[in-house]
Structure 1
Amino acid sequence: MRTVIVYNHPFEGSYCNAILSVVTNGLRKANHEIDLMHLDREEFNPRMSAEDLTGFVAHQAVDPQVIDYGKRLEKADHLIFIFPIWWDIMPATTKGFIDRVLAPAVVYDHHPRGFGLIPLLKNLKSITLITTMNKPKVMYSLLIGNLIQKVMLRSVFKTMGYKNLNWISYNRVKSVTQEKRVKWLNNLEKRFTDFK
């Protein structure tokens, strides 16, 4: 299996980085081939330029990095996003990846009847989001309305026609005990050790 990880956090000492480490360890134990797209280290530019938008409309990306990411997504059996939730939504770099890389003729196409979208990543078996935040889960759900679920799972991937969508959310990361954070990491590594 080939698993593409789209990772977005600029600080190497973050809990997201610890998550990346255990997910990678688990996938290696499960004999997955791992393709890491580290958006911060690779200095991915989230900004859609006029040239990008022209290429988007023509279904032909112009940025070599965007083209490369698209080709790598085509080979993915599984896709995992790891990022923090800032101000109740994904960081700008993750949003830019969605805008610029998850493009027509690469990840989806318009239905020939003119209504709806059809998925193009034929090998893709699952999409998993792993996020961290400092809000309690109930507050994010009831007061904010689970924006990540609405935006990424429903608006983006479900609209494109993808199934087997999962969201693993770690809440109150800064306020829980170190023991709990370690337990989360151990459970996460085990989960991806059994990933198929």
Structure 2
Amino acid sequence: MRTAIIFNHPNEGSYCNAILQSVTKGLQKANHEVDLIHLDNDGFNPAMSKADLKAFVDHQPIDPQVINYNERLKKANHLIFIFPIWWDIMPATTKGFIDRVLFPGVVYDHHPRGFGLVPLLKNLKSVTIITTMNKPKIMYSLIIGNLIRKVMLRSVFKTIGYKKRNWISFTSVKSVGQKKREEWLINLEARFSKSN
């Protein structure tokens, strides 16, 4: 199995980085080949330019970095996104990855009957989103409305047609205490060491 991890957090000491390490260890124990797309270290530009938009409309990516990411996504059996929730949604760099890399003609196509989308990543079996936030779970769920579930799982990947989707949400990260955070990391490593 080949897993592509799309990671977005600029602070190397963040809890997201600790999650990345635990997930990677677990996947390696399960004999997955791990392909890390580290958006911050890669200097990925999330802003779509005029040239990018024309390329998007033409279904022909032109940015070498986007083309590279596309080729790596084509080889993946599983996608894992890891990022913090800031102001109730994903950081701009993750949103830019969705906008600029999930390309028509590469990741999906329009249905020939004109309604809906058709997935094109033939090797892709599942998508997992892993997030951190400081809000309590009930506040994000009831008051904010679980925006990540709506945007990433339903609006993006369900619309494209990928059926196996999962969201692992770590809430109240700063207030739960070190012991709980360590337990989460141990459980994550164990969970992904059993993935197939």
Q: TM-score, normalised by structure 1?
A: 0.99
- Provide the rounded CA distance (Å) in 2 between the counterparts of 1:185 and 1:57: 41
- Provide the rounded CA distance (Å) in 2 between the counterparts of 1:60 and 1:71: 13
Residue aligning to 1:111: 111
The one-letter code of the counterpart of 2:168 is I
Residue aligning to 1:67: 67
Residue aligning to 2:89: 89
The one-letter code of the counterpart of 2:119 is P
2:16 is paired with a residue of what secondary structure?
helix
Residue aligning to 1:137: 137
Task: Give a deviation string over 1:50-95, Cα, whole Å, max 9, x none.
Answer: 0000000000011000000001000000000000000000000000
- Provide the rounded CA distance (Å) in 1 between the counterparts of 2:71 and 2:114: 26
Task: Give a deviation string over 1:127-186, Cα, whole Å, max 9, x none.
Answer: 000000000000000000000000000000000000110000000000011000000000
- Provide the rounded CA distance (Å) in 1 between the counterparts of 2:62 and 2:124: 24
Task: Give a deviation string over 1:73-129, Cα, whole Å, max 9, x none.
Answer: 000000000000000000000000000000101110000011110000111111000
The one-letter code of the counterpart of 1:94 is T
Residue aligning to 2:27: 27
2:18 is paired with a residue of what secondary structure?
helix
The one-letter code of the counterpart of 1:32 is H
Equivalent runs, 1:1-196 vs 2, <5 Å: 1-196=1-196
Task: Give a deviation string over 1:17-70, Cα, whole Å, max 9, x none.
Answer: 000000000001000001000000000000000000000000001100000000
- Provide the rounded CA distance (Å) in 2 between the counterparts of 1:13 and 1:161: 35
The one-letter code of the counterpart of 1:52 is D
The one-letter code of the counterpart of 2:103 is A
User: Paired residues, what number?
Assistant: 196
- Provide the rounded CA distance (Å) in 2 between the counterparts of 1:7 and 1:68: 16
Q: In percent, how many aligned pairs have the same letter?
A: 74
- Provide the rounded CA distance (Å) in 1 between the counterparts of 2:181 and 2:149: 23
The one-letter code of the counterpart of 2:184 is W
1:87 is paired with a residue of what secondary structure?
coil
Deviation beyond 6 Å, 4+ runs, structure 1: none
The one-letter code of the counterpart of 1:184 is W
Q: What is the root-mean-square deviation of aligned Cα atoms in Å?
A: 0.4
Q: TM-score, normalised by structure 2?
A: 0.99
The answer for unaligned runs of 5 or more in structure 2 is: none
